[in-house]
Structure 1
């Protein structure tokens, strides 16, 4: 399995609450952990000023002034930031919000994990972030409840900005059937790689599920399943020392050579060549 870091591994200073952290970096003298890794918590990286590259699940995104990056539990990432990069990091465990995590488009499977915002939008966010910092530092009665509610405001503001900037993408990804399929895929891709399983569970035919996915996202359900398996293979090849046989077995392949052919067919290189290149 992939190595997963909790909030306590990211933060060097112990705290009474390991389910939420806010860090105001000026500059962001990161990474705290130099190698690529994944988290078991949600993370918001809100950049005020700076530049560099943030790699999320092997896709590179440019870091610029007033940019926001979204990391859901399980995603792999690594960044290379300029020394003058400043901004905020919010880390929170799935259980931190007692009412449950809100319906946010940026944490859904296959969503775009990047948002460019304006200076006024950043100032709106910063007002709430300053309030969160104050409550965390004071640690008074009801501070946790106030932080939880301010975090909901931050997420709501980001949802507003995100839906305005990624309107076309959000409309496509908000198909209830596709979201149900992608949510199920996150839990079942190791055990089930056939469209028929997901279609039956969702009470539609395999051809209908393929057609709806193709129309809404540009990929059939089968292609979505394939890409999810390939993504996990890349994560394991990059972030673990597991051998190819172990990775193949973990991803539901009984034959190592078949896994290698599958990987090469869709990436253009063998698993070992990919690992060496990374």
Structure 2
């Protein structure tokens, strides 16, 4: 596992311009065992897009937010723009990748996709096993997507959206089966909205009241619903997100404690140090030393 020692903060890679659609918001790529040349992905990075990787045959190991995954055959791996990714080494795989951006999801015909469980990912999953029947359905939909991807014209984008909607809806059903949760109630939707707001604003908003104001509800109601639905206080959700980002920075960047505190919106490094130790039981320096030793 590589860690950064002299590189700048974690890079974010955009989706490259697609030759078939002419845009940079959606792409589908087949792989038939070629060994990719991807030197940059061997270092910590984020992608500025959602990615679904369907593996018929695969080898190697990669990391998502400091969690290792040994790649399996007949599986789906999915990631979102916020996650921190590392691949240990370039390895061939047989399958396909689908990539799309937030801008793609913002299109009117794709708006409903943003609310699917696979995209929301409330259980923080990354891997789905595909049974033979599921893989057959996925293969058929991938073939339809690929055919439209190679057929430019006025109907290309509507059909790509239609096939992708079916695919992501089908995978969302698998997601709910493999990561049980059920259909969300109004209170569960509020919890998801709160967590999404944290994802967007955690660096500059450190108080529950600030999120209640964003959501146009009282802080007391927000705290009550979040506690009832998740078993954890509203402030705990916020602190967990700050700790996750701090762990990413400690593991993958050479930032000093002062730089990290500023990046995460803390007034000074000593306050950040106390916050991190209170939440994790160790200081940032102790965590950095232990996690890098584990990855070596």
Structure 1 runs not aligned, ≥5 long: none
State the distance in 2 between where 1:263 and 1:173 align.
Answer: 33
> More displaced, 46-55 or 80-89?
80-89
2:33 to 23, 27, 32: 27
Where 1:182 maps in the other structure, the secondary structure is: helix
CA distance in 2, matches of 1:45, 1:34: 17
Secondary structure at the aligned position of 1:75 is classed as: coil
Quote the Cα distance in structure 1 between the aligned partners of 2:246 and 2:75: 29
Which of 93, 96, 120 is equivalent to 1:108?
120
Q: Distance in 2 between matches of 1:73 and 1:134?
A: 26
Per the TM alignment, residue 75 of structure 1 is displaced from its structure 2 partner at its CA by 1.3
Separation in structure 1 between the aligned mates of residue 90 and residue 45 of structure 2, nearest angstrom: 20
CA distance in 1, matches of 2:225, 2:258: 35
SS at 2:150's partner residue? helix
**Aligned-pair CA distance for 1:267:** 3.2
2:22 is equivalent to residue 16 of structure 1: yes
Corresponding residue of 1:66: 74
Matched, 1:235 2:248: yes
8 Å contact 1:106–1:113 — kept in the other structure? no
Q: 1:154 aligns with which of 167, 181, 205?
A: 167
1:250 corresponds to 2:256: no
Alignment of 1:1-278 (within 5 A): 2-8=10-16, 16-27=22-33, 29=35, 32=38, 33-80=41-88, 83=91, 85-97=93-105, 98-99=107-108, 100-101=110-111, 102=113, 103-108=115-120, 110-111=122-123, 112-168=125-181, 175-202=188-215, 205-276=218-289, 277-278=291-292
Distance 1:83 1:198, change over 3 A: closer
Q: Could you tell me how far apart the structure 1 residues matched to 2:93 and 2:28 are?
A: 16
Whole-angstrom CA distance in 2 between matches of 1:81 and 1:87: 18
Alpha-carbon distance change, 152 to 35 in structure 1, aligned in 2, over 3 angstroms: same
Report the CA distance between 1:128 and its aligned residue: 1.3
TM-score by length of 1: 0.84
- For 1:52 and 1:174, how far apart are their aligned partners in 2? 41
Distance 2:229 2:209 in 1: 19
Report the 3-state secondary structure (helix = DSSP H, G, I; strand = E; otherwise coil) of the residue aligned with 1:124.
helix
Secondary structure class of the residue paired with 1:8: coil
Counterparts in 2 of 1:200 and 1:144: CA distance versus 1, 3 Å? closer
| 5+ residue gaps, structure 2 | 1-8
Distance 1:243 1:82 in 2: 30
Cα RMSD over matched residues? 3.1
The alpha carbon displacement at 1:170 in A equals 6.2
| Corresponding residue pairs, total | 276
Q: Secondary structure at the match of 1:7?
A: coil
Distance 1:22 1:81, change over 3 A: farther
- Larger RCO, structure (CA 8 Å, separation 6 or more): 2
TM-score, length basis structure 2:
0.79
Distance 1:208 1:143, change over 3 A: closer
**Residue 245 of structure 1, CA deviation:** 1.2
Asked if structure 1 preserves the Cα contact closer than 8 Å seen for 2:36 and 2:92, the reply is no
